[in-house]
Amino acid sequence: MTINRLEVEGVRCLGSTVWCPEAGVNVVVGENGAGKTSLLEAIALLCTGKALRRGGSRGAITQGQERLRVTGTFGEGLEAGQLVYERTRSQRAWRLNGETIKSATTVYEYVPVMVFNPETHYAVLQDANARRSGLYWTMFHVEPLFLETWRRYHRLLNQRNAALRAHDATYQMFDPGLIQTGVVLAQMWQRTVEALCPVFSALSERLGLAVVVNTRARLGWEGGSFLEALEASRANDERLGYTQVGPHRADIFFEMDQRAIQETGSHGQQKVVISAWRLAGVTLVAATGRAPLVLLDDLAAELDRRRRAAFYETLVELKLQTFITAMEPEPLPSPVAMFHVEHGLLHRP
């Protein structure tokens, strides 16, 4: 989905803004505090209800204002639509083509959006939850039964853990359902990783990584079936009061020369690896016919000029609407569009 027109009111330092971005790559240039990230944050709020900085969506409201409002006009012809997000100090709401949306999931399905910020690769490499959430994002958009299966699995997992904490032997009654949904989730995880790997390798090379990085996936248990792993961990689960194995412990590892990239790669190499992995997910989602938006805050951080150029060229080739912030103008490949923001006001040079 492509944003044809964006209207922003009451978001951080931005003045009332109307923006008609290009369908491809859009670069927003400006000094620190000018409002570059706030523009990306307005798009993130519209599509996810989540802010890009601490304080949550409530904290994104301009100081002294009572609400923020972001309106996006998407698509063309029969696919055209308007999405509105409003946030007050006490509540939030979306409207799609004039109808109130009750579930944020509907918004996530309508406009997939992938966010990259300067801390993304640190978070992904340091936190298994961040690695899982990135894969869950892809699975949500490419596996039709993912959300339903994930919700049922976690409901059973929470019930089992509650019984374990209470030293209640009836926790075992949740095992059959946990195993059934867990196996399905693990299959989805494995399919998604297998589909991502060749795309990731091609993107890593395209982005100028110049070294071979291997991925190693973990389903959430070691060897055998989920049933066998659950049986083997039963005594420890009872002792510790929670379920130690299962898809909720799945993970993905990135290795260079058989060592974790956290240990061997430079910050620039780490950024390229994680960016390539997440862009591989974007590519898989785009292949389903639902084009994601890509938000990339401060592309230049940790990257030299050559790799920045490779990023721009790759993003142009993906043919997805992309929004990038940068401190200073630099030579850009055609047809990248450049905008300038200063003191919260946007204009095109």
Each residue's pLDDT tens digit, 164-208: 999 999 999 999 999 999 999 999 999 999 999 999 999 999 998
Given this model, what pLDDT does residue 290 score?
A: 87
**What percent of the chain lies above the pLDDT cut of 70?**
99
68 lies in the same domain as 132: no
SS3 126: helix
Contact 347, 339 (CB under 8 A): yes
**238 and 325 both lie in a single domain:** no
- Write out pLDDT tens, residues 20-52: 999 999 999 999 988 999 999 999 999 999 999
pLDDT score at 258: 86
Say whether both 73 and 200 belong to one domain.
Answer: no
pLDDT digits (tens, 9 = 90+) for 216-241: 999 999 989 999 999 999 999 999 99
The pTM assigned to this predicted structure is 0.93
The mean pLDDT of the chain is 93
Which conformational region is residue 15 in: left (phi greater than 0), alpha (psi within -120 to 50 degrees), or beta? beta
State the pLDDT confidence band at 78, using cuts at 50, 70 and 90.
Answer: low
CA distance 96 to 208: 41
**42-54 CB burial, b ≥16 within 10 A, e <16:** bbbbbbbbebbee
For residue 265, give its domain range.
121-289
Q: Which of residues 267, 289, 311 is at a domain's end?
A: 289
- Residue recorded with tokens 């990085």: 213
pLDDT higher than threshold 70 for residue 343: yes
Total domains present in the chain: 2
Average pLDDT, stretch 131-150?
96
Residue 348: pLDDT above 90? no
Q: Are 344 and 13 in contact (CB under 8 A)?
A: yes
pLDDT tens-digit series, residues 282-324? 999 999 998 899 999 998 888 889 999 999 999 999 999 999 9
Q: Are residues 311 and 242 in the same domain?
A: no
- pLDDT band per the 50, 70, 90 thresholds, residue 118: confident
What CATH number is associated with residue 340? 3.40.50.300
Q: Are residues 277 and 304 in the same domain?
A: no
pLDDT at 124 over 90: no
Last-in-domain residue among 241, 260, 289 = 289
Q: Measuring CA to CA, which residue among 213, 80, 61, 188 is closest to residue 135?
A: 188
